[in-house]
Structure formats: structure tokens, C-alpha cells
Structure 1
Amino acid sequence: MPQHNPHPVPDDPGVFVPTQVQGWQDGYDAGISSPPNVPVTPLVRDPDYADAWTEGATSGNADGRTEGWRWAYFDGAAQPDPQGVGRPYEPRDSGEYGQEHGSAFTQSWACVGELPLVVILAQFAPGERGGEGLTGRQLARACADKGVSRLYLPVSLFSSGAAQEGTGDPLTDAGYWHGTVHESLDEAAPEAIDYVTVRQIRFAALLRYAPAAEHDFFDLLPMNELLPPIRLG
């Protein structure tokens, strides 16, 4: 089982969230996506954040070794080499064969990262508070409150470069296209398929989210198992 953030979050939304909450979560995301060793703690002014980041990175590294490494796709991590041996990230069966459009999304990559979850949270639960290490737990709580077990977001699988003017949408500002959040693959798939067909783009995917406590976990289901043959970011 994945380790969890040991730093408590105040129940009162008006109370300041300790910096250690985000520090641990940021460190954990880096640790589980940076095999094989624990990543170096970044230089920051806040020692509490730095100490928590180190704790999180150690926990993430341990979980990566036991639970499997996760690809920080939208953070610009290098693409796995399809011909590589002993590569840290491996595709899995998506398990979506029962869906009408499941045959186009048979492969799944375990990923981590807050960026796309901020977009999903904004669409699925407008007004909920994300950031500060809270995005994962807020999204999981919103899914529990609405009785939803999975969410799907159509996304592009490459960055065309950051937007010249900020839009306030973190994926758009990072140069990625995305569609609308849906509660089933068959609802989301046509958007990804149309994006590829209309824009004549080869690489698109569905981002699949299932509640995972506070963690920024999601699966990336590339359309027709196609991944861009370039370094991302």
C-alpha cells in the first residue's frame, strides 16, 4: 500500500495549511517518478518545506520500488524507450475492453502529477480548493461525495509550447490540449478521437483518474498505443 502524507491538514478551510503538507506531497511525487535513487532536495528558503520534501521523496522512492514507478508525464519526464531493457516505466493492460471504444485504449501507463488533476478538479467540483498539496485529497473527496469511482479527461500527448498569454488553465498554459471531464471512457473517447481526426494529430490519450487518497495518481491511456517518439516538456 502507498505511504501517506503524515502532516495533518486543518479541518477549518480558513486555517493556514502548513507548508509541510505541500512539501511532503511534492517530494513524494518526485520520489516515485525518479528511479532508482531518492532525488536531491531542492534549494528553498523554507526549511520546513525542505525537510518535508525530503521525507516525501524517501517515501515515494520506497513506494516506487515496491508498488511500481510512476511516470511524471506532464512534468516533462523523459519518455520510456520502447526498445529499452530494464526501463523503469512499463505499460499495462488498461482493462477497458468492455467499453464500446475500449479497443482504441488498451494500454495504460501509471503516472503521477498534480497539473492535470487541477484541471479535473476545476471541472468536476468547481469551487473546491486545490494546490498547497491538497489537490489529490480534494478530488478524491469530491468523487466520494458524488459516488463516482472513475473520471476520464481527453488530452493531447505532446506539448506545443507554453501559451504566450496565460489562460489560467494549467494544461493549456503548458501547451497541452484537453477536453471535458467525463465519468466513463465511452463518453470521453469521442473527444480524443475527434481531436486526432479533425486536427490530424497522431498522439492523444485519455487520462483516467481513480481516487487514491491524497496522491496525484492517474493512468494515461494512449490512443492506439501511440506515444510521441520525443522527449517531452
Structure 2
Amino acid sequence: MAQHNPYRPPARPGEPMPFRFSAWQSGYDAGIATPPDVPATPLVRNPDYARAWAQGAEAGNADGRREGWRWAYFDGGVRPDPGAGAGGPYGPGDSGERLPQGAHYAQSWPCVGELPLRTVLAQFAPGSDDANGLTGTLLAQVCADKGVDRLYLPVGLSSSGPDPQPTGDPLADAGHWHGAVSESFAEAGEEAFQWVTSSRIPRHVGLVRYVPAAEHHFFDLLPEGSRLPPGR
């Protein structure tokens, strides 16, 4: 089982966000995505923030070694290369998802990152996003309230670069095409496939599959046809 954030978010809307909560979560995300060593703590003025970040990084590193590493794909992270003695190789598993024809999403890459989940949350529960590191917590709660056990988002796997005129859509502003969030694998998979086949320009698409994981920003990346962009 993944370790959980020891710092609690506000119990009621409008209360101040404990900075240690977001610091720990940011450290954890970095720790589980950068094997084999614990990442260095960023230089910050607040020693309590640095301490909480370092605690999160230690926890993420320990979970990576024990349960498997995760790729910070949409945050520009390098594919994990664990090396000797760091918990074994990183690679895709069987997604368990199949369509009768057309697109294929057989591979499942374990990933971590708040960016695509902020887009999922914004679509699935408009007005819930607060950009304070609470995306995983809020999204898991919304899924529980609605009785949903997983969500899918069609995405472009290559980025065209940051939008010079941000729209407020986190993933699109980072240069990634995306479709509509759906509870249906078939609908999301077909939307991604239709987008990639509608152009003569080669495109790489996939699905972000989110399964509630408490406060963590965990998701699986299912590339269409098991194809990733060059260099990834």
C-alpha cells in the first residue's frame, strides 16, 4: 500500500491550506518518479516546507522501490531507469482494456502527475480545482460521491509547447490536445482514435486512465497502438 500524506488538508472550504500538505505531496511525486536515489530538496526559504518536501520524497522513493516506479510523463519527466538494486526495471504492463476493432490500448504505463488529473477534475466536477496540490484528494472524493471507479481522458502524447495565451485548461495550456473525460473506455478510446486519424500529420495519442488513489496523483497512460512519441 502506498504511504499517505501525514498532513491533513482543510476540513472545510475556505480554510487556509497547510503548506506542508502540498510540500509533502510534491516531494512524494518527485520521489516515486526519479529512481534510484531520493531527489534533492529544492532550495526554498521556509525550512518547514523543505522538511515536509524531503519527507515526501523519502516516502515516494520507498514506495517506488517496493511497489514500482511511476513516470512523470506530462511534467516532462524522464522515463524511470531504476538501475541495479532499485526495485527492478520500469516498463508497461497489460492494460486489460480491449476494443473489438479499430484502436488498441494494450499497454499500461504507471504514471504520476497532477497536470492531466487537473483537467479530468475540471471536466468531471467543474469548479472543484483549486491548484493547491489537492487534485488527487478532490478527484478521489468526487468519484466516491458519484460512485465512479475509473475515468478516461483522450490525450495527445506530444506537446506543442506552452500556450502563449493561456485558457485556464491545464493540459491544453501545456500544449497537449485532449478530448472529453468519460466513464466509458470505448467512448474515450474511439475519440482519441478519431482525432489521430483525422489528420495526415503523424500524431501520437493515448488515454489517461484514472482510478481513485486517495490523495495521490496516480494514473495509467495507455498509448494507442503501444506507440510513444520519438525520444519518450
- Give me the TM-score of the superposition, normalised by structure 2: 0.93
Q: Contact 1:118–1:130 at 8 Å: present in 2 too? A: no
1:190–1:23 distance in 2 versus 1, CA, 3 Å = same
How far is 1:78 from its partner? Answer: 2.2
Q: Compare 195-204 and 65-74 and name the one that shifted more.
A: 195-204
Which AA in structure 2 matches 1:159?
A: S
Q: Contact 2:31–2:39 at 8 Å: present in 1 too? A: yes
Structure 1: where are the runs of 5+ without partners?
none
Which AA in structure 2 matches 1:91?
A: P
2: CA distance between counterparts of 1:164 and 1:203?
Answer: 23
Q: Contact 2:103–2:189 at 8 Å: present in 1 too? A: no
1:63-102 mapped onto 2 (5 Å cutoff): 63-79=63-79, 88-97=89-98, 99-100=99-100
1: CA distance between counterparts of 2:89 and 2:168?
Answer: 33
Partner of 1:139: 139
Query: Does residue 1:219 correspond to 2:220, yes or no?
Result: yes
Aligned residues: 228
How far is 1:79 from its partner? Answer: 4.1
1: CA distance between counterparts of 2:131 and 2:181?
Answer: 19
Q: Contact 1:121–1:135 at 8 Å: present in 2 too? A: yes
Query: How much identity, in percent, do the aligned residues show?
Result: 61
1: CA distance between counterparts of 2:76 and 2:215?
Answer: 22
1:186-205 mapped onto 2 (5 Å cutoff): 186-200=186-200, 201-205=202-206
Q: Contact 1:101–1:189 at 8 Å: present in 2 too? A: no
Partner of 1:32: 32
1:1-233 mapped onto 2 (5 Å cutoff): 1-79=1-79, 88-97=89-98, 99-100=99-100, 104-200=104-200, 201-231=202-232
2: CA distance between counterparts of 1:183 and 1:228?
Answer: 26
Q: Compare 59-68 and 163-172 and name the one that shifted more.
A: 163-172
How far is 1:100 from its partner? Answer: 3.7
Structure 2: where are the runs of 5+ without partners?
none
Output one character per residue of 1:77-127: Cα deviation in whole Å (capped at 9) or x when no partner: 12468xx98784210000113x44696000000000000010000000112
- Give me the TM-score of the superposition, normalised by structure 1: 0.92
Output one character per residue of 1:11-43: Cα deviation in whole Å (capped at 9) or x when no partner: 111210110000000000000000000000001
1:92–1:102 distance in 2 versus 1, CA, 3 Å = farther
Q: Contact 2:156–2:203 at 8 Å: present in 1 too? A: no
1:43–1:58 distance in 2 versus 1, CA, 3 Å = same
Output one character per residue of 1:131-152: Cα deviation in whole Å (capped at 9) or x when no partner: 2221101000000000000100
Q: Contact 1:109–1:220 at 8 Å: present in 2 too? A: yes
